[in-house]
Amino acid sequence: MTTEIATLGGGCFWCLEAVYQELKGVQHVESGYAGGKIAHPSYEQVCGGTTGHAEVVRVAFDPAVAGYRDILEIFFTIHDPTTLNRQGNDIGTQYRSVIFYHSPEQQETAKQVIAAMAHVWDAPIVTELSPLSDYYKAEDYHQNYFRQHPHQGYCAFVVEPKVAKFRKMFADRMKQS
């Protein structure tokens, strides 16, 4: 089995993590921070908006089952790539829409998907496309957050609707329970 990595930011990492954990071909999803200017930031530092980091997920997947293009198409379906530094009530650069590519091939695929998605959205796509330089795993209590806290307010009202949308639109791509 081959493993490829995608690193994506689309608002709160709990939302993306919960969706990608259900995608067939995904081996592991980890919440973390990328794109900032300090090493090993804490959640509190990132939330302060001064580190430059985005909340991201690192998705390890088998490209023979779920390709990078599939990962990105789902990404553009479960968040709003037209709002700069914002997803719903989450506001700040830490919640920006961003694709951190790991290779020139990922960069080219991302450019193609962004161009295709520009025809889907009514407003311009503001998703940042940057090479991944540093990535830092988020604190343990952020990992598998939705699975551990499905009834917590944010999870019930923000994460669950995104998971439900994924389940409805991509039922054929879901892991079997």
What's the pLDDT tens digit per position in 79-94? 999 999 999 999 999 9
Whichever domain contains 137, its CATH number is 3.30.1060.10
Q: Residue 176 pLDDT > 90, yes or no?
A: no
Which are the contacts of 44, defined by CB distance < 8 A and separation ≥ 6? none
| Pairwise CA distance, residues 82 & 124, whole Å | 6
| pLDDT value of residue 177 | 63
Say how many domains are in the chain. Answer: 1
Residue 12: active-site member: yes
Whether the model clears a pTM of 0.75, i.e. scores above it, the answer is yes
The boundaries of the domain holding residue 31 are 4-173
- Find the catalytic residue in 12, 15, 47, 155: 12
For residue range 34-56, what is the model confidence (pLDDT) as tens digits? Answer: 999 999 999 999 999 999 999 99
| Pairwise CA distance, residues 51 & 55, whole Å | 11
